[in-house]
Structure formats: structure tokens, C-alpha cells
Amino acid sequence: MNRKLLASAIISICIVGTACGKSAGDSRSKWLAAKLVPTTVEAKGVKLHVDIPQGLPENKESIVGPDWRVAFGDAGPRVSIRLLERAFKTPDDLARDVEPDAKRPDLVEVSKQTLAGGRFQYVSAVKDNRHLDVAVWIPIDDAHGLQASCHWYAGSESKRAASPDADLIAWLTKICDSIRPGD
């Protein structure tokens, strides 16, 4: 068997294997029911606490900051936190950092708001609501802060959603709200 044919067969098996896995709906139910586990990590020397869904694997290869995610292509959450050596002045500044193109045709801006403690939050959806993102900015001082993304990917086999999933947004927000710097 030549290499091209073998590679094609392996790719086909991988695609079929992925398509035959759990549906995005199964994954959604599983993660929404997952216990949130208090976790302590560091982002460039800043100790922080975050509640991570039980069973969500840590991405130990991240060079940016603490990161947890489902396997590539699987439906499910991703939590990423990084320390930035700059500050956002408004929720709009955070929104344009997360999504630079405010006129992107598939972008749904769900909310932009200022929260307690000087935090900003930006909630958005793209790609027919298959990607949901709750981004939060947590100031450390005048020139530094934590930027976190609590993201949901509906999976490669998911169907278009008519609107962003409010239950998933509330769940992602709960995770982002749990992030706090300190000992």
C-alpha cells in the first residue's frame, strides 16, 4: 500500500471516528452538570484561583498562561487565563482586543459591561453561535491585569444555532466570575 493511500485511509478513519462520537448536545449536558473544582494556579508569577469543570484537562503545553480545554475538535469548554502588561480602560477596549472586527458578519455581541472591582466583561458568539466566549478583564494594578476567556466550542458536527445559548453563557460566566487573584 503506498503512503498516500495509507494516509488517506487513516484520515478517513479519524473523520468517521470523530463523527460517530458523542453529539454536541451530549457534551453540553455533560459539561453543564460537571462539578466546578476550586483550583489554584499562577500566571507569570501572579497566584490566582479559578473554578474549573471537573474532568476538563489542563493544557500543560500553554506558554501564555493557565489553560484547560477539551481535545481538538471536540465539543466543550476551554478556559484560558493570561497576565497582560497593559490595562483596558473600557469594556469596548476589551471587546476590540477579543474581536478586532466589530463589523464581522457572523459576530453577535451579547453584552459589554463593567463589573464590580473594575472588571470588564465581553460576551460574544461567532460562526453561527457555535463559538461562545465570555471574556473578562481583571485589573491587578494600573498597568497589569488578567485577561480570561471562558469559551465554548459546539463541535465540528454541530448545527447552526438560531441564537447564543443562554445556559452555556451563564455557565461560562460562572467560571469567569470565579477567577480571582491572591493567595
Q: Is residue 171 part of a domain?
A: yes
Q: Is residue 130 part of a domain?
A: yes
Q: Is residue 3 part of a domain?
A: no
Q: Is residue 103 part of a domain?
A: yes
Global model pTM greater than 0.75: yes
Residue 183: what pLDDT? 67
Mean pLDDT of the 157-172 span: 89
Share of the chain above pLDDT 70, in %: 86
At 100, the pLDDT band (50, 70, 90 cuts) reads very high
> Of the ranges 4-8, 37-41, 70-74, 144-148, which one carries the lowest mean pLDDT score?
4-8
State the chain's mean pLDDT as an integer: 87
Q: Is residue 11 part of a domain?
A: no
Residue 4: what pLDDT? 45
Q: d(Cα 66, Cα 79) in Å, to the nearest integer? A: 8
Residue 23: what pLDDT? 53
CATH code (residue 165):
3.40.1000.10
Mean pLDDT of the 72-92 span: 94
Q: Is residue 12 part of a domain?
A: no
169: cell is 453563557
pLDDT, tens only, 104-134 = 999 999 999 999 999 999 999 999 889 999 9
Top pLDDT among 161 and 48 is at 48
> Phi and psi (nearest 5°) for 14?
-60, -45
pLDDT, tens only, 2-37 = 444 333 433 333 333 333 344 556 899 999 999 999
Domain with 125, as residue range(s), is 22-181
Q: Is residue 153 part of a domain?
A: yes
Mean pLDDT of the 48-75 span: 95
Residue 93: what pLDDT? 96
Mean pLDDT of the 47-53 span: 97
* Domain tally, the chain: 1
Q: Is residue 6 part of a domain?
A: no
Residue-wise DSSP of the chain? --HHHHHHHHHHHHHHHHHTS--HHHHHHHHHHSPEEEEEEEETTEEEEEEEETT--B-TT-SSS-EEEPPTT-SEEEEEEEEESS--SSHHHHHHHH-S-TT-TT-EEEEEEE-GGG-EEEEEEETTTTEEEEEEEEEEETTEEEEEEEEEE--TTPPPPSS--HHHHHHHHHHHHT-EE--
* Encoded amino acid at 6, one letter: L
Residue 162: what pLDDT? 84
